[in-house]
């Protein structure tokens, strides 16, 4: 069951379209990895979801609740740490606990211990980037919300900090069934925890895929470099009857089919009038897949 869905969600700023008819689906109890470059539309999407910005068109549904504002109260979020610079972690979290109407005073202690800031007694203005991120995550976890949004939570963290946050997210997800939506530039880390991915570029949601489906796409593949990608794709689809490919930038095509029959692919392309400059086996990483996906979109 999807706990969050959007249909045709659009945000325009005068002549610029920040989000363009985004249809996104977040499964209940899952960890959704939201992947995109800076300026791709991730933060804009989060702000619309939280009601921090007004949509231009489209719809948002959260947990099948008819009252969207009430539904938003079920979401904890970190979209850039925003705290009082002169206050300690405890003072800042206490402020937000009261602001959110959470009566249990032990919540402040609980979330600060979870992110390793319980014994820190210095003002926020003296924090490192990693400590600021940890405090933002603590605030998002206040009150055990069923949905948690984390926008670039790993920025500024050292390797141990990244590992700690990863294990914490997995533990909360598995023990409490909390749904997470996480954006991150560290795609190898998202790959370790996400159950589903959404790839966004220039405000357009290019693709949604499960972790299993993604690993099928990023497994070993054939890389083709040709003089005429459009003709090559036509041959792949009509003659070899496969659509398991991604058109990458320039003259490259990644083929996730015929892995044991590269000679058959080469023969079909050459006989069809395509000049084949390169054909090699490769294994695509998540980062490479994203770059190829975005590159293909830019060439389209």
pLDDT, one tens digit per residue, over 136-161 is 999 999 999 999 999 999 888 888 88
Residue that wins the pLDDT comparison between 132 and 298: 132
User: What confidence score (pLDDT) does residue 106 get?
Assistant: 96
**51 and 161 fall within a common domain:** yes
**189 and 227 fall within a common domain:** no
Q: Is residue 290 part of a domain?
A: no
Q: Is the pLDDT of residue 81 over 80?
A: no
Q: Is residue 162 part of a domain?
A: yes
Q: How far apart are CA 245 and CA 81, in angstroms?
A: 40
**25 and 69 fall within a common domain:** yes
Residue that wins the pLDDT comparison between 288 and 150: 150
Neighbours of 134 (CB within 10 A): 29
**247 and 205 fall within a common domain:** no
**79 and 124 fall within a common domain:** yes
**6 and 118 fall within a common domain:** yes
**198 and 255 fall within a common domain:** no
Task: Using the structure block, give the residue that is written with the tokens 């960890």.
Answer: 31
Residue that wins the pLDDT comparison between 248 and 51: 51
User: What confidence score (pLDDT) does residue 249 get?
Assistant: 63
Q: Is residue 295 part of a domain?
A: no
Task: Using the structure block, give the residue that is written with the tokens 């109890």.
Answer: 29
Q: What is the mean pLDDT of residues 65-77?
A: 94
Q: Is residue 67 part of a domain?
A: yes
**231 and 181 fall within a common domain:** no
Q: What is the mean pLDDT of residues 64-88?
A: 92
Q: Is residue 296 part of a domain?
A: no
User: What confidence score (pLDDT) does residue 146 get?
Assistant: 96
Name the CA dihedral angle for 134, 140, 144, 149, rounded to a multiple of 10 degrees: -110
pLDDT tens, position by position, 210-267: 998 888 777 788 999 999 999 999 999 999 999 989 887 678 998 988 988 999 999 9
With bands split at pLDDT 50, 70 and 90, how would you rate the model's confidence at 300? very low
Region of residue 106 (left: phi > 0; alpha: psi -120 to 50; beta: else): alpha
Domain extent for 227:
219-283
User: What confidence score (pLDDT) does residue 48 get?
Assistant: 96
With bands split at pLDDT 50, 70 and 90, how would you rate the model's confidence at 39? confident
Q: Is the pLDDT of residue 198 over 90?
A: yes
Burial class (CB within 10 angstroms; exposed 0-12, middle 13-18, buried 19+) of 96: buried
**227 and 116 fall within a common domain:** no
Q: How far apart are CA 166 and CA 189, in angstroms?
A: 8
CATH code at 8? Answer: 3.40.50.300
Name the CA dihedral angle for 112, 125, 183, 73, rounded to a multiple of 10 degrees: 60
pTM: 0.79
Q: What is the mean pLDDT of residues 81-97?
A: 94
Q: Is residue 176 part of a domain?
A: yes
Q: Which of 234, 232, 216, 244 is nearest to 277 (CA)?
A: 232
Q: How far apart are CA 161 and CA 173, in angstroms?
A: 18
**203 and 227 fall within a common domain:** no
Q: What is the mean pLDDT of residues 268-296?
A: 86
Q: Is residue 292 part of a domain?
A: no
User: In terms of DSSP bridges, do strands 276-283 and 220-226 run parallel, antiparallel, or are they unpaired?
Assistant: antiparallel
With bands split at pLDDT 50, 70 and 90, how would you rate the model's confidence at 294? confident
**132 and 278 fall within a common domain:** no
């Amino acid at each position: 069951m999807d706990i969050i869905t959007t249909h045709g969600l659009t945000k325009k700023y005068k002549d610029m379209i920040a989000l363009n008819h985004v249809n996104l689906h977040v499964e209940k109890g899952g960890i959704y990895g939201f992947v995109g470059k800076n300026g791709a539309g991730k933060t804009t999407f989060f702000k619309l979801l939280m009601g921090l910005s007004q949509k231009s068109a489209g719809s948002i549904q959260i947990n099948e609740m008819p009252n969207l504002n009430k539904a938003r109260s079920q979401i904890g979020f970190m979209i850039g740490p925003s705290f009082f610079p002169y206050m300690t972690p405890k003072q800042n979290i206490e402020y937000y606990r009261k602001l959110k109407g959470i009566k249990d005073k032990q919540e402040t202690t609980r979330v600060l211990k979870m992110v390793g800031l319980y014994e820190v007694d210095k003002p926020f203005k003296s924090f490192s980037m990693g400590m600021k991120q940890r405090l933002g995550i603590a605030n998002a976890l206040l009150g055990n919300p069923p949905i948690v949004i984390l926008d670039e939570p790993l920025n500024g963290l050292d390797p141990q900090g990244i590992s700690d946050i990863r294990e914490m997210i997995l533990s909360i997800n598995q023990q409490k069934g909390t749904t997470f939506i996480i954006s991150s530039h560290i795609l190898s880390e998202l790959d370790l925890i996400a159950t589903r991915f959404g790839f966004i570029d220039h405000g357009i949601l290019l693709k949604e895929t499960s972790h299993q489906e993604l690993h099928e796409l990023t497994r070993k593949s054939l890389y083709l470099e040709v003089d005429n990608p459009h003709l090559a794709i036509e041959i792949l689809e009509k003659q070899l009857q496969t659509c398991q490919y991604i058109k990458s930038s320039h003259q490259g095509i990644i083929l996730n089919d015929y892995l044991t029959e590269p000679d058959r692919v080469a023969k079909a392309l050459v006989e069809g009038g395509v000049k084949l400059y390169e054909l090699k086996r490769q294994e695509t990483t998540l980062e490479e897949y994203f770059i190829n996906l975005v590159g293909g979109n830019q060439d389209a």
